[in-house]
Structure 1
Amino acid sequence: MKSSPDVARPGRPCPGPGIRSWLYVPGDRPERFGKALGCGADAVVIDLEDAVSPVRKADAREAAVAFLGVGQPRPVYVRVNPLGQGGEEDLAALRGTRVSGVRLPKCEDPAQVTEAARLLPDVPLVPLVETALGVERAYALATGDAQVSGLAFGKADLAAELGSSHPEVLDAASYRVLLAAAAAGLPRPPMSVYPGVRDLDGLALDCVRGRERGFFGRSVVHPAQIAVTHSVFTPRARDVDAARRLVESVERAGANGSGAWLDENGDLVDAAALRQARAVLDAAGGEGARTRRPGARGAAGGGRPPSS
């Protein structure tokens, strides 16, 4: 029997309310870890990859492990190095810590996901799709292991590989990631970093564009970008109220055996409308986060800015 699109794959980690902002902080700047947690981002990502120079990788790994030895008030993820380039050591070191999840950079082969899961069991994994081969294999990466809890798209490295930063080219690639996540029953992917840290108007416009195309949240590299990102990806109160009323009406109608009908405005209310309403509630961190598909498969400064 065909599964409902609102039912996630068996065995996957089930995410909670959607993360609107993922704030990167360089792994070799441990004095900034605590400050990053206080900036208001929904999640912090300690970066052991692009933001850290090769000679400081070991120090960054040790700092991340020490920080994650205790629980933190917000989710703290780690972007490890690619497998074969220090990623194995990063993952092994994170075993036994309280890391919330791991971002796997430049993923191209499902075997990389499988190996990451072996090295760090029971921790959510987020493959970063940022190469042409990764885009081609996005669905295979999304379904590569039950620990995969989401996909993320990175356009900077892909643009360099393609020799083009044309919006239409990068949009075409990002849609492949969006579709792969949906097909695998994963949350909507976040947008990658907006490089203009001081261009908050441009950031807002880009966030709106991404939201309209189906993405949710984005990676940020400066605390100034958090409020703008949240304002775009936080559902408006009237939309949340309308979604809650729709869910309640569907539940009442379901109890009476109704399937689809027209509401008081003459709009069709069916399973698709219900999924959209629950997505709004999920993004708001409310009731929708607890009505997800049963059995779901689930800072700034220093070094090169993160690309995804």
Structure 2
Amino acid sequence: MSGQPPRSHLYVPADQPRFLRAAPRSGADALILDLEDAVAPSRKDEARAAAVAFAEARTADGPRSPELWVRINEGARGHDDAHALLATGRVDGLWMPKATAGPELDALVGLLADGATALGLLIESATGLLSLGDTAGRPGVLHLQLGEVDLRADLRMAPDSAPGDQLLDWARGLTVAHTAAHGLLSAVAPVSVHTSDPEAFRASSLRLRALGFQGRACIHPSQVAVANEVFGVDPGELADAHALLDLFERRVGAGSGVFRDSEGAMVDAATVRRARELTGRGGLQNTP
């Protein structure tokens, strides 16, 4: 896995051969083979076998793109899912559904103790949200993802009836805050069930990025290109970030800790933090 978070995470029902064949060509940065909600109970074993076969077909050496993740089931079945997929040695990470603190998470963290496979936590309940202070800091956890469909049901809220629904912004903020506090790679924005409205998906994605999410889960291939665009680095934004850092470093070198840019906005070390993240440029060698 690269140091940059995936812009798009595409869910793929693992028991659907047609979707599995098409998934690598979707353009998604990460695939999430789904063994849980998207699979009927009678097809769980078939889905696991298909996910294992898909993983085993990946190239063993060299870069592997897109990343391959699997959403396992809950409970004992999920533990067996994890064992089967880890045995392939070809899976980048596992997503734990309805993640909360407790023996199930402890057991999964133990399985991943060698660090070869990462862990993502799906936060889909009030208990999951309120236990983030414990769960997000567990070894191997790389991403948090907010599962808003299940969360709404747990909170006794009405289903999402509009693409721009902002009623869960408080939960989104908690997810982003814990991602930052625990030094995780990314907070993954929730899926949108409104797959027939790409402009609404773009608008909500832009808003979720502004809230601090670094990528988005998708449930339809048509959403992938939009997620890649919104959560990617715009060339103009990157150029502006480099220019701001150039100016900041010149002014700091001249002894100014804070100054105004060409448009009159105040610039200091805190202001350029986002620019450093975008460009990957570190601070000045002798700057505190």
Whether the 8 Å contact between 1:30 and 1:64 is mirrored in structure 2 is: no
Q: Secondary structure at the match of 1:273?
A: coil
Cα displacement (A) at 1:270? 3.1
Q: Which has the larger radius of gyration?
A: 2
For residues 133-152 of structure 1, the aligned pairs below 5 Å read 133-144=127-138, 146-152=139-145
Cα separation, 2, equivalents of 1:291 and 1:101:
29
5+ residue gaps, structure 1: 1-13, 282-286, 293-308
Query: Which residue of structure 1 aligns with residue 95 of structure 2?
Result: 103
> What root-mean-square deviation, in Å, do the aligned CA atoms of Structure 1 and Structure 2 show?
2.4
Higher fraction of strand: 2
Whether the 8 Å contact between 2:142 and 2:186 is mirrored in structure 1 is: no
Letter in 2 for 1:20: R
Query: Which residue of structure 1 aligns with residue 232 of structure 2?
Result: 234
5+ residue gaps, structure 2: 284-288
Q: Which of 271, 274, 277 is 1:273 aligned to?
A: 271
1:187-217: CA deviation from partner (whole Å, max 9, x where unpaired): 3411111101111121111112211211122
Letter in 2 for 1:109: A
For residues 51-70 of structure 1, the aligned pairs below 5 Å read 51-69=38-56, 70=58
TM-score normalised by length of structure 2:
0.84
Query: Which residue of structure 2 aligns with residue 162 of structure 1?
Result: 155
Letter in 1 for 2:219: V
Query: Which residue of structure 2 aligns with residue 208 of structure 1?
Result: 206
For residues 8-157 of structure 1, the aligned pairs below 5 Å read 16-69=3-56, 70-71=58-59, 72-82=64-74, 84-96=75-87, 97-109=89-101, 111-121=103-113, 122=115, 123-144=117-138, 146-157=139-150
Whether the 8 Å contact between 2:14 and 2:50 is mirrored in structure 1 is: yes
Q: Secondary structure at the match of 1:106?
A: coil
Q: Secondary structure at the match of 1:143?
A: coil
Q: Secondary structure at the match of 2:227?
A: helix
TM-score normalised by length of structure 1:
0.79
Cα separation, 2, equivalents of 1:15 and 1:112:
28
1:243 aligns with 2:241: yes
Query: Which residue of structure 1 aligns with residue 257 of structure 2?
Result: 260
Q: Are residues 270 and 115 of structure 1, via their aligned partners in 2, closer, same or farther at CA, if it must alter by over 3 Å?
A: farther
Letter in 1 for 2:209: R
1:54-109: CA deviation from partner (whole Å, max 9, x where unpaired): 11111111111121123343101101112x15110011111232111111110111
Deviates more, 1:224-233 or 1:127-136: 224-233
Letter in 2 for 1:185: G
Cα displacement (A) at 1:236? 2.3
Deviates more, 1:50-59 or 1:111-120: 111-120
Q: Secondary structure at the match of 1:173?
A: helix
Whether the 8 Å contact between 1:109 and 1:134 is mirrored in structure 2 is: yes
Indicate the percent of aligned positions where both proteins have the same amino acid: 35
Whether the 8 Å contact between 2:261 and 2:267 is mirrored in structure 1 is: no
